[in-house]
Amino acid sequence: MALRRSGGPWLRNKSAGNIFRANLFRSQGPPGRQTSIAWKAPLSDTFHTPERFGQLELAKDK
């Protein structure tokens, strides 16, 4: 999966091999029937649970 984002302090050092902690989270559905999907389940009431984040390692383009 390719993630593209210009700027932002979390991508200032974009060298291959660098590792970033992150989580991918999506809330979908109408109000009252929303469901949440996460790459790494936060296991809490909030999606912002850094200790549950996974690791993304930057790779060189092929």
| 30-52 per-position pLDDT tens digit | 999 998 888 888 888 887 888 88
The candidate with the shortest Cα–Cα distance to 25, out of 13, 35, 17, is 35
Distance CA 23, CA 25 (A): 6
pLDDT at 29: 94
pLDDT of residue 47: 78
pLDDT digits (tens, 9 = 90+) for 7-26: 556 556 678 888 888 888 88
Does the pLDDT at position 56 exceed 80?
yes
